[in-house]
Amino acid sequence: MNPLSIARSEFILGGQKSGKSRRAEGLAAAWLARSPHHRAVLIATAEAHDDEMRARIARHQRERAERVPGLATLEAPRDLPAAIARAGGAETLRIVDCLTLWLTQQLMPLEDFESNQPSAPDWQARTAMLLKAIESCPGPIVLVGNEIGLGVIPLGREVRAFVDALGTLNQQMAVTCERVTLMAAGLPLTLKNTQGAME
């Protein structure tokens, strides 16, 4: 199988700096090269709450523009289903980067910490809406997420709950997506592939 063949839906997961985003960008570049009518949009879920994060986002934007000049960006830290729907039609490849940040903002929204009034958002219902958006997406979609469940079990209750929730989200994505790729040291390992490549 060509490592840069395009599936209708692909879930890329791995550890920090494993090459997840680079693979997603490579898929976008391959998609754009296939036709002058193709488009690619990165749906970014990060929010800049401090100077370090602002600098990190700006650096990623510069580097991404150099690697894939035709890749547009749509910021959608909260409402991913709506962003997926409005990103384009069948000619548009969407990259969601990343699901881990999106889940963090569902479970631990910053405004709750600032107000000291914790809420309990129904992240399962929001995840169900996201899964429906993926299934009905008119063009190819690539979703990036972290695998953080391979290390030691964290001591804190909240952190354990987050690791559990992310593991559940990753499993749901793996069931929904037609291809699942695990990244390690920049190398892709195909865990699932149930469909041929898209043109």
Phi, psi for 183 (deg, rounded to 5) = -105, 135
Phi, psi for 20 (deg, rounded to 5) = -60, -55
Could you tell me if 77 and 101 are in contact, meaning their C-beta atoms sit under 8 angstroms apart? yes
- Which of 37, 38, 49, 60 is flagged as catalytic? 60
Would you tell me how many other CB atoms lie within 10 Å of the CB of residue 88? Answer: 19
What is the CA angle 132-195-193, rounded to 5? 95
Angstrom distance (rounded) from CA 188 to CA 105: 28
Angstrom distance (rounded) from CA 22 to CA 28: 10
DSSP summary character for residue 73: E
The contacts of residue 38 (CB under 8 Å, 6+ apart) are: 31, 32, 91, 92, 93
Which residue in 99, 188, 176 sits closest to 143, CA to CA? 99
- The yes-or-no answer on residue 60 being catalytic is yes
Which residue in 121, 130, 109 sits closest to 11, CA to CA? 130
Q: Which residues are catalytic?
A: 60
